[in-house]
Structure 1
Amino acid sequence: MNIDSNCIGLSANIAAAPDELPIPECPLGTPEKCKCGNDEGKFRVLCENAINSKNIQNLFTSIINEVIDRLSISCSEPLEMVPRLPAMNLKRLEIVGCEALHLINNSMKSIPVFGLMPKLESLNLDRNEISEVPENAFKGLPQLRHLRLQYNKICTLSNDALAETKTRLELLDLSGNCLSIIPSPILRGFDRLMYMDLAENQFTEVGPLGFMQLPLLKELRLNSNRLERIAPNAFVDMPQLKTLYLRDNVLPMVDSSMIQGFKQLEVLDLSRNMLNQTPSFKEMVNLKQVRLDYNKLRVVDAYAFSANIKLELINLQNNEISKIDKNGFDSLEQLTTLLLANNSLTKLDGSIFATLPNLQNLNLHQNNISSIDNTTFATLPKLAVLDLSSNGLEHIGVGAFSKQPPTFYWLDLSNNKLKSFDKGVFDQKITNILLNGNPLVCDDKMDWFVHYMVVNQIRTSRPNEPEIKCSAPDEFAGVRLKELMIKKSSKTLTASMQRLGLDGSAQPNKNFLTNLFPGLANLGDIQNLGVAKANC
């Protein structure tokens, strides 16, 4: 038993065995300020103003082997949560004056009879074995605002369960139980309820009027159930709902009008369902996050996302999307993150990003995009991170990354089929251009890119990853990309010296090279990089 409160006064009446005399002294380990004595033939421990979060466990341990007639806990000041009470032979428990009580993970099979606890505001009965909520179970708790019954064995609720809490409860957690039918009559009419958690139960549908008359409800969790259907009129009179979690169910579709009925909705999580059509979120002006990852979506329909003036994140990863209609993402002025990884896109029309002026993070990892041109990302003035890895990308058009904003610092091109870059693909500095897993051909056509990389100090791999190596031609096969500029510079310099009649067999001086090509100084110890001689 955990007690989240300050136990200022605590007394335990311990019944002495009939054939034994009362124990005159306190048990070993009893807190110093506690007093022990006889009271009507029973051993008594009185610990008023002597208990704190450090010594309360010592007291419980000191009386663990006794038969306890009564344990009385008076809570008048806040206290850190004490450790779990050990198993004790306890006949009667009295708790007075507490504002918060945690009885977590105690194998309780029923809700205790609390009596009158006029100050209790928060009750946590998580992780027990409670199977029912009796009528008037919380009648003696007139100030109860938070009730947690997570991970018990509650499979049904009687019609009168929780009735005494409807006018004051603000948080109700029934997650992790075995409820199979939404207890609509019971959940209806909670005037002050703001947070309701019904996740990890066994619901298969939310029928008509499943949730109604919840005027202050802000967050509803129905994730990790078995939901196959939600009626269009399942939610009625819930004007303040801001967060709705429906992830990890088996929903094949949701009604767009039902979603659009939540005028204050900010976060909607429909991930890990079986959705095969993108709902319409048009003109939901308060929406900030939409999560649709791990579904069966194939198309982002026109105006699916439109005029969502506060929308910041769209997650469409791990679907089967092969097409994004024109205006699929329309007038999303505050969108900063668009996640489209692990889909089936084969080409990108730059117009689909035309009305995303604040997009910063775009993830297109593991699609089937074979080429991009200079218009694909041209309308993204705030772009910072772009992931095009694992696409089978073979060609990047000239100018594709020549006019990117100064904020653009991360471009992931790893695990593609890129062999070379035409001059002009890159212009302004992009601090990180990841190239692992590409069959780079480091011939003369790549000289400009190697120079661009050295001058701008471009990082081409993540820390602890192997450095990028050339695949061809044979002359440079296996050579690290960082070494390539030095080898080519050395070769050019040696040839020039020979034309001038100088000794071309000598190793070029380190300082001479770095003065000629300042960017080389950032590549490490040049002398140990295997600088090529005239016959390399």
Structure 2
Amino acid sequence: MRSSLVNLLLCTFFLKVSTSEKITFENVTVQWYVGNKTQETVYTSDNLKKIIPDEEDEVRVWIHGSIPILYEKSVSDIPNLYILRLSGVGMEEIKPGAFGNLPLLKALLLDSNNLIEIKTDTFVDLNVLYIDLSFNSIVLLQPGVFKNFKAVHVNLGNNKLAELPRGVFENFTLENLILSYNLLHTIAPSALSTIGLTKLSLFGNKLEEIDPEAFDMQELITLELDDNLVKLLRPGDLRNLPKLEILVLARNELEEIPEGVFNNTKLIVLILDANKIAKIASKAFDDMPDLVALYIDSNNLTQWDNNWLRGAKSLAHISVNFNQIMEIPDKAFKNYPRVKSIGLEGNKIGKISAKAFDKLEHVDDYLDLSFNEIDSWSPHLLGNVSVGRLELNGNMLPCIEGDLKTVFKNVEVTNFQYNPWNEECVKKVEEFIQTSVELVD
């Protein structure tokens, strides 16, 4: 009798322990919203559906508290769940099968937790607009994590992923994938090739190259690779990105731009800021008919090549601020006579050829030559070029010959502050400002 009682107590004890270990939601605060109705309650249960109102309207749920483990079927069979937020609840593990039969779910927020590994079949068969797994400590995504998964945006930024193997995105349909601020140094060939991406954010990783086998994404439009370790670009690196329009390679380790990387691409915006670029091949930007904006600020360029950008018929903005360029040569802008802006601020330009602006017709927004070393300005230098705003401030101009109204007749706004004007020129400038206030910034 005594033995039977002990066994009964032990069974009861183990049953309770086993049951308690399976409870995902224990004394958590659940806020749910249906239309304009809001309710908040403290909740303990193994499945979220027991607290969600059984209505046809979409329900949005925010949960606060501690949820170390999301157990199997803990968020399942909830036909009207529209948004679920489990941000910052200390989650360390998601058991495969935790999510199931959620036909209306559009946003799943799991950010700012302590997840380290996401296992196979964790998000199987889900169809959402957005899933947020950012700001965790994820080091591993097992193959098949997103099996038969459909989404528009997936955020895996600010984790600790060092590699992206094949199979992670098996049978996956996705438009925008954020993998920024991880530790990625390699992406397996074909790991991303079948999911239909149009935008891929990889900034803030440790990638050293653009491997055409890894970057084989036929639908990709935007690729963000800033803040990586890319040192070398090779002809053909972009050959498997036929629809690429925006490429960001700022803050890498590039020293040279060779021919054959960007030619005959559909790029519209190319950003190469804050590298170490000292040399650009004369034909590096040829045959880019769709290019609208080129940014090469904060590099080590010393020369301006007037042959750059042949065939760039759509170019509107070129910015080469804060380099080491010392001279503007003849016909410097002949290949793009009609642009909106030219940025050459903060270089070492001391010489401007008398024919530097030949072939240039107009610069609608601005021509920025501020903070250089320009010490003379010919009255006929601009010729008939019309300029929205001319920036000459912060140079070494002691004076400008001729009548300033004539010199800058085709310039809407002229800014030439902070130059070492001589006494004669100070008076001329003051008169110009007084009689042409609208021309001076």
TM-score normalised according to structure 1 size: 0.62
1:166 to 147, 153, 160: 147
Query: Residues of 1 paired with 2:305 and 2:120: CA distance?
Result: 61
What is aligned with 2:371?
A: 415
CA drift at 1:347: 2.7
* 2:161 aligned counterpart, secondary structure: coil
* Residue 311 in structure 1 maps to residue 267 in structure 2: yes
Map residues 93-132 of structure 1 onto 2, 5 A cutoff. Answer: 95-111=78-94, 113-114=98-99, 116-132=101-117
What is aligned with 2:27?
A: none
CA drift at 1:211: 0.9
2:280 to 314, 320, 324: 324
Kept in 2: contact 1:194–1:217 (CA 8 A): yes
Query: Residues of 2 paired with 1:233 and 1:88: CA distance?
Result: 43
* Residue 150 in structure 1 maps to residue 134 in structure 2: yes
2:437 to 489, 504, 523: 523
CA drift at 1:210: 5.8
Query: Residues of 1 paired with 2:250 and 2:224: CA distance?
Result: 13
Q: Deviations over 1:374-419 (max 9, x none)?
A: 4112332212211222222222232433653244441112112222
Q: Deviations over 1:116-148 (max 9, x none)?
A: 545435433222233444555456x66567543
Aligned in 2, Cα 1:386/1:153: closer, same or farther, shift over 3 Å? closer
Aligned in 2, Cα 1:402/1:331: closer, same or farther, shift over 3 Å? closer
Larger radius of gyration: 1
* Residue 473 in structure 1 maps to residue 416 in structure 2: no
Aligned in 2, Cα 1:330/1:400: closer, same or farther, shift over 3 Å? same
Q: Deviations over 1:207-263 (max 9, x none)?
A: 4x4616625344444433333467664466x54344444333334446654531233
Q: Deviations over 1:284-325 (max 9, x none)?
A: xxxx223332233333323433222x3222222223333332
CA drift at 1:351: 2.0
CA drift at 1:425: 0.3
* Residue 430 in structure 1 maps to residue 387 in structure 2: yes
Query: Residues of 2 paired with 1:190 and 1:198: CA distance?
Result: 19
Structure 1 or 2: more strand by fraction: 2
CA drift at 1:350: 1.6
Q: Once the two structures are aligned, what percentage of the paired residues are identical?
A: 24
Query: Residues of 1 paired with 2:224 and 2:367: CA distance?
Result: 33
Aligned in 2, Cα 1:364/1:324: closer, same or farther, shift over 3 Å? same
* 2:360 aligned counterpart, secondary structure: coil
Query: Residues of 1 paired with 2:430 and 2:310: CA distance?
Result: 40
CA drift at 1:483: 0.9
* 1:262 aligned counterpart, secondary structure: coil
Map residues 199-210 of structure 1 onto 2, 5 A cutoff. Answer: 199-207=180-188, 209=189
* 1:185 aligned counterpart, secondary structure: coil
Unaligned runs of 5+ in 1: 1-49, 267-287, 462-466, 487-519, 525-536
Aligned residues: 393
What is aligned with 1:291?
A: 248
Query: Residues of 2 paired with 1:129 and 1:349: CA distance?
Result: 52
Map residues 207-356 of structure 1 onto 2, 5 A cutoff. Answer: 207=188, 209=189, 211=191, 214=194, 216-228=196-208, 233-234=213-214, 238-253=217-232, 256-257=235-236, 259-264=238-243, 266=244, 288-308=245-265, 310-356=266-312
Aligned in 2, Cα 1:150/1:331: closer, same or farther, shift over 3 Å? same
Q: Give, as a single letter, the amino acid of the residue that structure 2 aligns with 1:380.
A: Y
* 2:51 aligned counterpart, secondary structure: strand
Q: Give, as a single letter, the amino acid of the residue that structure 2 aligns with 1:292.
A: L
RMSD across aligned positions (CA): 3.8
Q: Deviations over 1:495-528 (max 9, x none)?
A: xxxxxxxxxxxxxxxxxxxxxxxxx64339xxxx
Unaligned runs of 5+ in 2: 1-31, 68-73
* Residue 176 in structure 1 maps to residue 158 in structure 2: yes
Query: Residues of 2 paired with 1:365 and 1:100: CA distance?
Result: 45
What is aligned with 1:390?
A: 346
Query: Residues of 1 paired with 2:168 and 2:336: CA distance?
Result: 50
What is aligned with 2:8?
A: none
Query: Residues of 2 paired with 1:430 and 1:204: CA distance?
Result: 46
TM-score normalised according to structure 2 size: 0.74
Aligned in 2, Cα 1:235/1:349: closer, same or farther, shift over 3 Å? closer
Q: Give, as a single letter, the amino acid of the residue that structure 2 aligns with 1:313.
A: V
